[in-house]
Amino acid sequence: MNPINQEVSNFTGQVAVVSGASRNPSIGRSAAFQLGLKGASVVINAREAAPLERTEADMREAGIEVVSIPGSIGDDGISERVADAAISNFGSLDLLVNTVGGSLTRTSATTLKRSDLLATLELNTWGPLALIQAALNVGLEDGGGSVVNISSGTVNKTTPTMAAYAAAKSALNALTRTLARELAPRGVRVN
């Protein structure tokens, strides 16, 4: 391994928040484990408490410092609780990984209900933004910070019955690009 990869792979002394971290297997759970195994203290979040608690127990068994906060990050107060947990348990917040998301409905765009579209946007777009805002409020930008938003290949291809999900992830991509420009002067990387 070259020195550049070694440096990037070391998260010792850093604090990460990972949303969508409960399902096994999932991108969020894998990201949380890898960050923890590479030295980060990790706050994990997911909507369902039971699988989140299993992930927390598995991470502790692997020797990772971890705290779990259940709840949907788009719901009032949950994102703030998640970000606050990083500060109260580990003293800082350096990295935010938003992997939360999913398709709540599989229907044609021609029959898509407004409520289904809004619920999918809430989960895939508003939730990650709410967590980014909460992280900034507790000091993600102090000394620089990083945000990684996980999107989907669905935005680059047309998939019948996936209109709501594709729209929501497309919105997340646009939001990510906008935040990258807005937060760069403050020392925060957003990808």
C-beta separation of 44 from 54 below 8 A: no
Question: Which amino acid makes up residue 29?
Answer: R
Query: What separation in angstroms does the CA of 41 have from each of 9, 27, 32, 34, 95?
Result: 14, 18, 9, 11, 10
Q: Which residues are catalytic?
A: 165
The whole-angstrom separation of Cα 54 and Cα 49 is: 9
| Cβ pair 121, 167 in contact under 8 A | yes
Which superfamily does 3-113+122-160+183-190 belong to? NAD(P)-binding Rossmann-like Domain (3.40.50.720)
pLDDT at 2 over 80: no
Q: Is residue 56 pLDDT above 50, yes or no?
A: yes
Q: Per residue in 115-152, pLDDT tens?
A: 999 999 999 999 999 999 999 999 998 878 999 999 99
* Bridge partner residues of 97 (DSSP): 18, 148
